[in-house]
Amino acid sequence: MNDNSWQPHCPVGVSAQTERITLAHGEGGRAMRQLIHDRIVPRLRNPNFSDANDAAALPALQGPLAFTTDSFVVSPLFFPGGDIGTLAVYGTVNDLVVAGARPRWLSLSFILEEGLPLDVFDRVVESVAAAARRANVEIVTGDTKVVPRGAADGLFITTSGIGELISPIPAGPRSLLAGDELIVSGPIGCHGVAILACRENLGFEPAPTSDCAPLVEVADALRAAAIPVRAMRDATRGGVAAVLHEWAGQCELTMRIDETALPVSSDVRGICELLGMDPLHVANEGTMVIAVPAGAGESGLAALRQVSLSKEAALIGAVQPRGIAPVTIRRSLGVEQPLDEPHGAPLPRIC
Amino acid sequence: MNDNSWQPHCPVGVSAQTERITLAHGEGGRAMRQLIHDRIVPRLRNPNFSDANDAAALPALQGPLAFTTDSFVVSPLFFPGGDIGTLAVYGTVNDLVVAGARPRWLSLSFILEEGLPLDVFDRVVESVAAAARRANVEIVTGDTKVVPRGAADGLFITTSGIGELISPIPAGPRSLLAGDELIVSGPIGCHGVAILACRENLGFEPAPTSDCAPLVEVADALRAAAIPVRAMRDATRGGVAAVLHEWAGQCELTMRIDETALPVSSDVRGICELLGMDPLHVANEGTMVIAVPAGAGESGLAALRQVSLSKEAALIGAVQPRGIAPVTIRRSLGVEQPLDEPHGAPLPRIC
C-alpha cells in the first residue's frame, strides 16, 4: 500500500512530523504497555474495564445471553456521519439489539499498520469511547496487534459483544407467515452512499451522511409499545435486499415490497441513479428491517415514530406465499418483478 | 504485498488453478452466504452455533463471566506445531483459563485478502474446528470481511471468548506477596523459535515445534489439587519476561528468577544463542507462569506433572521485597542482575 493508505480522503490534518505506530507497539513489552496505559485505558475506563489482565471479569447475568462479533475494515477511516470507531461500536451493538438483547459489554481488538499516525489512532479511540457512552455499553477488554507496513491498510477493528436477551425474544425469520408486514426503520442507503462519495471524492455538497447510529432506543420503543416483533435485522452489507433474501430463504415465502413505499432521501436517490446502483442493495448502519404480524404494521410505525432515529419509518411490503421469486418489488407502475440478491461487490470495504 | 504473501514458507501445495477468495465473498450477498454455508457452518456446527443470525443466543450462566479477545496476524499461517487457526482458538481459550474461567464459547472473525486460496481458508477452518473440540469450547458466532489485494496479508483472525469464572478465582498479580513462589508450566520459548525458524527458513532438522496448546487441563490439575494459585498468566508476546514485568509493576515487588532453573529445550537454547535472543523474551502459546504462596511450590509442581502438557513444569524463582530492579535473574554463577523488559520488536507477527 502507499504510504498514505490510512489517510482518509476527508482530511484529518496528519503532519509529516507526527508520531507513528511502530512494530514495538505490538510486541507485548514496554511500548505496548505504554500505548494501552497512556492512550486506551484513560479514554475507555469503566468499572468493568480490564486494564491489568487479558480477560475481563463480569458480573453474572440472570437470563440467556446474546454473543456476536464483527470486523471493520472500512475505507476511508473517517467519513461524514462517523468513522471506523463509531461503526465498530454501533455495528456490534446493533447485532445484539436485533437479536432481542440489551447490549452490555464489548471487546475491542485493533490490527494496526506500522506507520499509522498516533493521532489517527487517538481519534478512533475517542470515537469508540463516545459511541460506547451513547449506546450505553462498556468496553471491557481488548487487544492490539501491529503488522509491518504493507501488511494491513492502516487500522482494522474487531468488536465482539455480549448482551442480555430480553423477553419476548423475536422468534426470528423462520417464524414468518404470509400476511406479515415489513417495516424499515428509516431512510435506506445512506451509509453506503456516504462512504462511496467520500472515498471517491465525488464532491457532492452537502456531502451525504452515514446513518451510523445505535438502534437501542428503536428496539426499546417497539418493546415499550408491546409490538409483537417476529424478526428484526439491521440492513448492513448488501442492504435491505440482502436481509429480505436471507429471510425469504429461511421461511420459504416471498418478501414483496413496494417501490413507492421505500424511504429514500433525494441525495441517495440521485447518487444511486448517477452510479447505476439500487438503494435496496446499499448498506445501512442505523436502519433495520422489522417483520410484524398482519395488522400490526401501523402500531409498529406509530411506536417507531416516537424515536428520532426512526421517525421516518415506513411500511414497505408484506410476506406472501412463495410466488415468482423469493423477493419481489412492485414498481411504481404496478408491475411486480423479482428483486435480485446482491452477488457481486458493488461497494467493498463499506464497514 | 507480493502475490504469494499468504503462502506459508512451509509449503502447503497451493496450485495456480486453485479457487480464490474474491471481494464478493465479503459483500453480504450470495457469495458470502455460500462461503459461510458451504465452508464454515458444516465444519463448526454445534448446538449453539448461529448460522442464521448475526448473534448467537446462549443459555444463562450461573456465576460471573470472563470475557476476552485477541487478534491473530501470525506469519507464516502454518508452522510446525500449529497454524493461525489453532493459535486463534488456544490463545483465547488460554486467556480465559488464566483468568480462572472455564472456556465455553468463542466468536471467530476473519479478515481475508482477496486472492487467498480457498483451500488455505478451508484448512484454517478445519484447524479451528479441531482446536475447539480439543479445548472443549464451541464456536458460536462469526464474521467474514474481505479486503482488496494488498490491503491485508492473507488472513487475519480475531477470536473473542466467554468463560465461566470458577471459585476460587485467583486474586491476581496485585495480591502477590514477598515469598510467593514462581512456576512455569513447561519449557519456554518454543513458539517464538518455531515461528522464526519456519519464517526465515533456518533449516533446522528436526524443525523446532510450537508449544501451541490449550491450558485447560493444566489449570484443572491445579484446581483439583487445591493449589492456592495467586496469579496465572500465559506467557505469549514478550515471553516470561513480559509477564514478570507486568506482575512486578502491579504488586511493586521484585520477581527474582534463577537462570539454572529455567526449562529450556536444547534446540530453543541453541537457536536463541545463535540469534542473540533470550528465551525469556520469546513467546509461548501453551506455557504459563503461576504464582503460589510460599511453601506451595512443590505441591503445585506435583499437580502440574500429572498433566502431559505440564510434565516439565519448574519452580523458577520467588517474589521478593522490591530490590535492585522489578525483575532480576540470578545467573548460573550466582550474580543477580536486572532482567530487562522487552521493549523492541524481536519477533513481529508471532501470534
Identify which has the larger pLDDT, A341 or B53. A341
CB-CB under 8 Å, B55 with A68: yes
Chain B environment of A143 (Cβ under 8 Å): 69-71, 158
Average pLDDT over residues A214-223: 98
pLDDT per residue, tens digit, chain B (351 aa), is 334 444 444 444 555 578 999 998 988 778 888 899 899 999 998 888 876 567 999 999 989 999 999 999 999 999 999 999 999 999 999 999 999 999 999 999 999 999 999 999 999 999 999 999 999 999 999 999 999 999 999 999 999 999 999 999 999 999 999 999 999 999 999 999 999 999 988 888 889 999 999 999 999 999 999 999 999 999 999 999 999 999 999 999 999 999 999 999 999 999 999 888 999 999 999 999 999 999 999 999 999 999 999 999 999 999 999 999 999 999 988 999 999 887 665 578 999
pTM: 0.94
Quick one: which of B120, B118, B125, B113 has its CA closest to B153?
B113
Does A170 have pLDDT greater than 80? yes
How many angstroms separate the CA of residue A249 from the nearest CA in chain B? 10
How many angstroms separate the CA of residue A275 from the nearest CA in chain B? 18
* CATH class of this structure's domain A23-165: alpha beta
d(CA B223, CA B233): 15
Q: Are strands B327-330 and B254-258 parallel, antiparallel or unpaired?
A: parallel
CB-CB under 8 Å, B70 with A109: yes
B153 close contact with A: CB closer than 8 A? yes
A130 close contact with B: CB closer than 8 A? no
Does A10 have pLDDT greater than 70? no
CB-CB under 8 Å, A28 with B342: yes
Same fold, B23-165 and B173-338: no
CB-CB under 8 Å, B238 with A71: no
- Mind spelling out the 3-state secondary structure of B279-315? HHHCCCCCCEEEEECCCCHHHHHHHHCCCHHHCCCEE
Q: Write down the ipTM of this complex.
A: 0.93
* pLDDT given for residue A344 in this prediction: 60
Chain B environment of A87 (Cβ under 8 Å): none
Q: At what angle do helices A118-135 and A84-98 cross, to 10 degrees?
A: 30
Identify which has the larger pLDDT, A30 or A222. A222
CB pairs under 8 A between A and B: 297
Beta pairing partners, A147: A113
How many angstroms separate the CA of residue A160 from the nearest CA in chain B? 7
* pLDDT given for residue B33 in this prediction: 85
Identify which has the larger pLDDT, B101 or A6. B101
Would you call A70 helix, strand, or coil by DSSP? strand
Parse chain A into domains and list their residue ranges: 23-165, 173-338
d(CA A40, CA A42): 6
Here the cell at position A91 is: 455495528
* pLDDT given for residue A202 in this prediction: 87
The interface residues of chain A toward chain B in range 266-325, judged by CB-CB distance below 8 A, are 283
Q: Which residue of B53, B142, B343 is in closest CB contact with A31?
A: B343
Here the cell at position B57 is: 443466543
Chain B environment of A109 (Cβ under 8 Å): 69-71, 158, 160
* pLDDT given for residue B16 in this prediction: 59
Measured between CA atoms, the residue of chain A closest to residue B71 is: A109
Burial of A85 (0-12, 13-18, 19+ CB in 10 A): buried
The interface residues of chain B toward chain A in range 226-245, judged by CB-CB distance below 8 A, are 233-234, 236-239, 242, 245
Measured between CA atoms, the residue of chain A closest to residue B143 is: A70
Compute the Cα dihedral for A332, A335, A336, A340 and give only its sign: negative
Instruction: Mutate one of A109, A138, A327 to test the B interface: name it (highest B CB count within 10 A).
Output: A109
The interface residues of chain A toward chain B in range 161-200, judged by CB-CB distance below 8 A, are 161-163, 165, 169, 172-174
- Is A44:A129 a contact under the CB 8 Å cutoff? yes
B210 close contact with A: CB closer than 8 A? no
> What are the Cα distances from residue A351, in Å, to A152, A210, A246, B99?
15, 11, 19, 32
> What are the Cα distances from residue B301, in Å, to B125, B183, B262?
36, 8, 14
Measured between CA atoms, the residue of chain A closest to residue B111 is: A71
Helix (H) / strand (E) element for B218: namely: helix B216-224
Quick one: which of B92, B73, B94, B95 has its CA closest to B84?
B73
Compute the Cα dihedral for B340, B342, B344, B345 and give only its sign: positive
* pLDDT given for residue B217 in this prediction: 98
**Other Cβ atoms closer than 10 A to A312:** 16
* pLDDT given for residue B300 in this prediction: 98
Beta pairing partners, B330: B258, B336
Does A263 have pLDDT greater than 90? yes
Angle at A299 between CA A293 and CA A303, to 5 degrees: 120
CB-CB under 8 Å, B173 with A283: no
* pLDDT given for residue A49 in this prediction: 86
d(CA B97, CA A13): 44
* pLDDT given for residue B341 in this prediction: 85
How many angstroms separate the CA of residue A273 from the nearest CA in chain B? 21
CB-CB under 8 Å, A150 with B152: no
CB-CB under 8 Å, B101 with A55: yes
Average pLDDT over residues A306-310: 97
- Is A100:A139 a contact under the CB 8 Å cutoff? no
Chain B environment of A237 (Cβ under 8 Å): 26-29, 32
**Other Cβ atoms closer than 10 A to B15:** 7
How confident is residue A53, by pLDDT bands cut at 50, 70 and 90?
Answer: low
* pLDDT given for residue A15 in this prediction: 57
Measured between CA atoms, the residue of chain B closest to residue A93 is: B55
Which homologous superfamily is A173-338 in?
PurM-like C-terminal domain (3.90.650.10)
Q: Which residue of B72, B105, B242 is in closest CB contact with A28?
A: B242
How many angstroms separate the CA of residue A97 from the nearest CA in chain B? 9
> What are the Cα distances from residue B336, in Å, to A230, B16, B255, B273?
68, 57, 12, 20
Q: What is the largest CA-CA distance in chain A?
A: 67
